[in-house]
Amino acid sequence: MTRRYRRRTFAEVTAQARTAERAQVAEFGRWQIAAVTNLIAAGTVDAESGSLLRARLAAFVEQVEQGLHLTGSEPASGEKQ
């Protein structure tokens, strides 16, 4: 018995790659937020500056996860909405 696999289109492959890359960038952003939190706890960064930086990083992570860092707010062609 042989299995037949559906060949993926270029748009599907690139959409999957972009999704994976966005997930990795978002994970890195969350890691940066944790690092800033640790710097605040250690007293290396003052709480006000650290909180502002964490808020900006959190907004960036949210935008990356939603794909808003791309031109416009529309997902790239082939990506799921």
- 53-64 pLDDT per residue, tens: 999 999 999 998
Rounded Cα gap, residues 58 and 18, in angstroms: 20
pTM of the model: 0.71
CA atoms within 13 A on the CB side of 78: 12
The pLDDT value given to residue 70 = 65
Please provide the distance, in angstroms rounded to a whole number, between the alpha carbons at the two ends of the chain.
36
The pLDDT value given to residue 4 = 80
The pLDDT value given to residue 6 = 82
CA atoms within 13 A on the CB side of 39: 16
Q: What is the mean pLDDT of residues 34-44?
A: 96
